[in-house]
Copies of this chain bind each other. A is one copy, B any other.
């Protein structure tokens, strides 16, 4: 059975690590602050004193941290994973970072004989808890096959999307759509609410029409119509990802008009203090000028 190391025990990482442990894989963890690891240690995981030590004791190391510098430090920094490189080690980075950075780290890993896969996920904290994430994997296809059982503990749809960096590209393409569709659904529904249309009715009709989307069906009822705006996926993180997507497009000289505007809307949401709320809180920016709220009374359910 593959021995698994895990770094990044945040809102996504912790339930993912739990699912790995539940599937029976021997699990070792490391965290900058040991407190973050307590829940998973209590559930039987082992502790390593550094990423390097973690790597030495693992066949597969999963990393899911905040941004490019974090991944760089954990993998290539002093006492990082590559300092514990050994034959047969595979690193699966599930963070969302710049594809170019991911490719560079993969090249450094290859020099040490280590496989590095970029494998970002979609599905949010719910998907992480349910083990139903979609995982988009870039890098060596054979390496993916070896670690697939571990990924299957965390996700339902695991797709090899191309060479190193491709997983990150596909994730950014997806998150462009999260950002634009999320904001557009907000501005569109608010127009209807301003005109007096019942919010749940509108959601029912459009959910059965050509304007339907995963977000309207899932995120809006849970986060917006309920008024909770509980993350989920924060405005700060989505703004970061849209920035990465725009940087990628800039390098490739590909204009992205809607993405650019959506990004400014999330920046405005950050300025309004919604950075740590769910990204769907962008709708509050639209609600105020439209004198209308996208709320559905509890108990009122879709048709």
Contacts and interface: CB of A to CB of B under 8 A. Distances in A.
Interface of A: 99, 122-124, 134, 136, 156-157, 159, 161-163, 165-166, 169-170, 172-178, 180-181, 183-185, 187-192, 194-198, 201-202, 204-206, 208-215, 219, 233, 239, 243, 245, 248-250, 252-265, 267-268, 270-272, 275, 286, 289-290, 303
23 contacts: A122-B209, A157-B208, A159-B205, A161-B205, A166-B196, A169-B191, A170-B201, A177-B181, A180-B180, A180-B188, A187-B257, A187-B258, A191-B249, A210-B214, A243-B250, A253-B275, A254-B290, A255-B289, A256-B264, A258-B265, A260-B263, A261-B261, A271-B290
A122 to B, nearest CB: 3
Contact of A259 (B136, B184, B195, B290): B184
Contacts of A256: 187-188, 191, 264, 267
A211 B210 CA distance: 15
Contacts of A159: 201, 204-205, 208, 303
Contacts of A245: 191
Nearest to A169: B195
Nearest to A288: B271
> How many copies altogether?
4
Contacts of A262: 258
Contacts of A260: 260-261, 263-264
A174 B177 CA distance: 17
A268 B289 contact: yes
Nearest to A249: B191
A266 B286 CA distance: 14
A184 B250 CA distance: 17
Contacts of A189: 173
Nearest to A156: B208
A234 to B, nearest CB: 14
Contact of A173 (B183, B211, B272, B275): B211
Nearest to A174: B211
Nearest to A262: B258
Contacts of A157: 205, 208
Given A124-B210, A159-B303, A175-B211, 16 more contacts: A170-B192, A170-B197, A173-B191, A173-B206, A176-B184, A176-B188, A176-B191, A177-B213, A180-B181, A180-B184, A180-B188, A184-B184, A190-B254, A256-B264, A260-B263, A271-B289
The 3 A-B residue pairs with the shortest CB-CB distance, nearest first, are A177-B211, A122-B209, A271-B289
Contacts of A165: 195
A243 B249 CA distance: 12
A1 to B, nearest CB: 28
A257 to B, nearest CB: 5
A258 B250 CA distance: 17
Between A181, A214, A255, the greatest number of chain B beta carbons within 10 A of the residue's beta carbon is seen for A255
